[in-house]
């Protein structure tokens, strides 16, 4: 342990200690964060992750994205600083998804927040955690209230006994989706790793070493996808490099060393910045279907300096296999696609190649150059592509296009099923299948066709539940759906206590 110093000179401006980040207090939190010295941070977040029609997260708490990235890394400790309710939700979700890791928590009160003691408590926690026998890195995350209060994680030491200390702010009022929060941490780690690599020799990656030039894969992928991509790269004389976000610290050096980076998920703006600073070439889109794979192989070949006839020979060998896979598993029907994973456009391309009519793709992620080829390809085939799509837009698309199947997030699927339209969860069912190369061809067909075939079952269910309450009356049976009354007609039956302790008769029945 080293001597500590109190770094916070001024008491921070008031931020709602109980929260407010994702339930209506955004303006207050933003004003507090700016008053507390976080203007540059907020400007950076707004530049990297521009907001859209919805300026609040419409999915889970964004910090879950960065939390998950840290929890999946070997020898990495995670500490959260935020309201207890936020931390409860985040740890619950982490363990629901099988984290099997401890999540550290530094609680606060109004007093520790205002006096600056919270920073001291975080600093203590970091020093207690940073054991080089156990960890390569400790990730500390400021959630909404500590960010708004200006808790200065940048004043934490860069490393303690060789353990890197990575402090990040992931406020819901600055990072629109949990997808982009993954990039906040991935980018912060790559920045540190790049600085280390620039200073001298670094550790060799623990994963397989290849003497071929590699292509780093950017995005959290289905486990079989890197193998499918490696199969595409092999005839070009290339190999699949690490997948970013990485699973251990030293993989990042190998990721940065790849001459080419495939931005398979297009929202990793901060990570791309680090790769570009290292002089790497970024390739957009991904190898989906016949046309997507052909274009991607051309782009990878050009970026890696592979001779055109070598790329041509690879395409001659690989594309017929993909075409055969798709032909064997055709998809018929109209399908709307929406989600927050970043791969929505790629999934839509594969569906279209398999024969589906896809009139609408909505993604919660922003428009970046890395999905431009997919947007252009889809729009040329009449698909409406909406970036930063709101939940309302996704549901409106179902009403407007009357699809045979809606692929989407939980509330979108729920809305579809309520109107008798089959729905499939993007995250649980579509992202849990290979998407790229030969294994991806035809992988979606069984799920998609099976769901479309379930339409009749949904009609029967709707008939069975006819007359049962919906909305506020949900859950009431045929015996009597409560009458929907305007809220203003309600009066409390009991007396209410005023602030000075006297009782007031507020009427009511």
Q: How many residues bind ligand SF4 (CB under 6 A)?
A: 14
63 scored as a contact of ligand SF4 (CB under 6 A):
yes
* Nearest residue (CB) to ligand SF4, 108 versus 135: 108
Please name which of 334, 342, 335 lies closest in space to residue 388, comparing C-alpha atoms: 342
287 scored as a contact of ligand SF4 (CB under 6 A):
no
Instruction: Tell me how far, at minimum, the Cβ of 58 lies from ligand SF4, in Å.
Output: 11
Instruction: Tell me how far, at minimum, the Cβ of 179 lies from ligand SF4, in Å.
Output: 14
Instruction: Tell me how far, at minimum, the Cβ of 394 lies from ligand SF4, in Å.
Output: 20
172 scored as a contact of ligand SF4 (CB under 6 A):
yes
The 3-class SS string of 163-230 reads EEEEEEECCCCCCCCHHHHHHHHHHHHHHHHHHHHHHCCCCCCCCCCCCCCEEEEECCCCCCHHHHHH
Choice from 8, 12, 15, 22 touching ligand SF4 (CB under 6 A): 22
Query: Length of the chain in residues, anyone?
Result: 509
* Nearest residue (CB) to ligand SF4, 84 versus 203: 84
Integer Cα distance of 157 and 269 in angstroms: 26
Integer Cα distance of 178 and 66 in angstroms: 7
Instruction: Tell me how far, at minimum, the Cβ of 173 lies from ligand SF4, in Å.
Output: 7
Instruction: Tell me how far, at minimum, the Cβ of 186 lies from ligand SF4, in Å.
Output: 19
Please name which of 272, 285, 265 lies closest in space to residue 375, comparing C-alpha atoms: 285
Integer Cα distance of 235 and 424 in angstroms: 36
143 scored as a contact of ligand SF4 (CB under 6 A):
yes
DSSP, collapsed to helix, strand or coil, labels residue 92 as helix
Task: Work out whether strand 104-106 and strand 76-81 pair parallel, antiparallel, or are unpaired.
Answer: parallel
Residue located via tokens 């703006």: 269
Contacts of 185 (CB under 8 A, 6+ apart): 65, 66, 69, 70, 139, 141, 166, 168, 170, 245
Integer Cα distance of 145 and 176 in angstroms: 16
Would you tell me how many other CB atoms lie within 10 Å of the CB of residue 84? 12
| Positive/negative CA dihedral, 288, 291, 294, 300 | negative
* Nearest residue (CB) to ligand SF4, 19 versus 284: 19
Q: Are 93 and 68 in contact (CB under 8 A)?
A: no
Task: Work out whether strand 357-363 and strand 214-218 pair parallel, antiparallel, or are unpaired.
Answer: unpaired
* Nearest residue (CB) to ligand SF4, 80 versus 415: 80
Contacts of 209 (CB under 8 A, 6+ apart): none
Window 67-126: residues binding ligand SF4 (CB under 6 A): 82-83, 86, 89
- Contact range with ligand SF4 by CB under 6 A, out of 7-15, 61-69, 98-106, 322-330: 61-69
Choice from 8, 12, 15, 21 touching ligand SF4 (CB under 6 A): 21
- Contact range with ligand SF4 by CB under 6 A, out of 55-63, 226-234, 408-416, 499-507: 55-63
Instruction: Tell me how far, at minimum, the Cβ of 10 lies from ligand SF4, in Å.
Output: 24
- Contact range with ligand SF4 by CB under 6 A, out of 17-25, 101-109, 240-248, 271-279: 17-25
- Contact range with ligand SF4 by CB under 6 A, out of 54-62, 280-288, 414-422, 443-451: 54-62
61 scored as a contact of ligand SF4 (CB under 6 A):
yes
* Nearest residue (CB) to ligand SF4, 61 versus 444: 61
Instruction: Tell me how far, at minimum, the Cβ of 370 lies from ligand SF4, in Å.
Output: 26
Query: Nearest to ligand SF4 by Cβ — which residue?
Result: 172
Choice from 8, 12, 15, 19 touching ligand SF4 (CB under 6 A): 19
Instruction: Tell me how far, at minimum, the Cβ of 391 lies from ligand SF4, in Å.
Output: 16
Residue located via tokens 């431009």: 372
Instruction: Tell me how far, at minimum, the Cβ of 246 lies from ligand SF4, in Å.
Output: 24
Integer Cα distance of 263 and 273 in angstroms: 12
Contact set with ligand SF4 (CB under 6 A) = 19, 21-22, 57, 61-63, 82-83, 86, 89, 143-144, 172
């Amino acid at each position: 342990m080293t001597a500590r110093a109190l770094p916070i000179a001024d008491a921070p401006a008031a931020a709602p200690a109980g929260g407010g980040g994702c339930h209506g207090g955004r303006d207050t939190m933003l004003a507090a964060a700016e008053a507390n010295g976080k203007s540059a941070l907020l400007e950076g977040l707004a530049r990297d992750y521009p907001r859209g029609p919805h300026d609040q997260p419409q999915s889970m708490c964004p910090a879950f994205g960065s939390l998950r990235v840290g929890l999946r890394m070997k020898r990495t400790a995670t500490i959260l600083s935020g309201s207890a309710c936020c931390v409860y939700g985040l740890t619950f979700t982490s363990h629901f998804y099988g984290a099997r890791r401890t999540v550290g928590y530094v609680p606060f009160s109004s007093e520790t927040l205002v006096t600056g003691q919270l920073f001291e408590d975080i600093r203590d926690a970091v020093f207690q955690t940073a054991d080089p026998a156990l960890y390569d890195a400790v990730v500390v995350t400021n959630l909404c209230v500590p960010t708004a209060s200006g808790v200065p994680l940048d004043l934490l030491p860069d490393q303690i006994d060789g353990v890197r200390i990575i402090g990040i702010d992931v406020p819901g009022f600055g990072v629109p989706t949990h997808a982009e929060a993954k990039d906040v941490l991935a980018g912060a780690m790559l920045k540190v790793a790049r600085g280390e690599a620039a200073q001298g020799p670094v550790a060799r990656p623990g994963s397989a070493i290849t003497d071929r030039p590699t292509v780093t894969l950017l995005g959290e992928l289905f486990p079989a996808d890197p193998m499918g991509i490696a199969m595409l790269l092999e005839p070009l004389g290339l190999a699949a490099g690490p997948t970013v976000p990485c699973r251990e610290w030293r993989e990042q050096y190998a990721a940065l060393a790849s001459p080419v980076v495939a931005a398979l998920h297009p929202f990793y703006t901060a990570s791309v910045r680090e790769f570009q600073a290292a002089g790497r070439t970024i390739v957009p889109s991904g190898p989906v279907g016949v046309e997507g794979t052909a274009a991607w192989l051309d782009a990878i070949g050009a970026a890696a300096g592979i001779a055109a006839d070598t790329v041509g020979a690879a395409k001659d060998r690989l594309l017929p296999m993909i075409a055969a896979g798709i032909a064997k598993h055709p998809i018929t029907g109209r399908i709307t696609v929406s989600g927050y994973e970043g791969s929505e456009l790629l999934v839509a391309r594969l569906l279209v190649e398999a024969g589906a009519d896809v009139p609408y793709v909505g993604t919660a992620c922003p428009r970046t150059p890395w999905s431009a080829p997919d947007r252009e390809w889809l729009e040329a085939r009449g698909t409406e592509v909406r970036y930063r799509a709101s939940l309302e837009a996704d549901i409106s698309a179902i009403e407007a296009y009357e699809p045979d199947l809606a692929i989407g997030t939980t509330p979108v699927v729920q809305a579809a099923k309520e109107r008798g339209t089959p729905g499939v969860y993007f995250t649980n069912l579509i992202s849990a299948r290979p998407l790229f190369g030969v294994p991806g061809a035809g992988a979606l067909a069984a799920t998609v066709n099976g769901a479309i075939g379930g339409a009749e079952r949904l009609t029967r269910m709707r008939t069975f539940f006819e007359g049962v309450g919906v909305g506020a009356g949900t859950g009431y049976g045929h015996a009597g759906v409560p009458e929907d009354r305007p809220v203003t007609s309600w009066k409390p039956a009991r007396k209410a206590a005023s602030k000075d302790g006297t009782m007031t008769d507020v009427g009511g029945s």
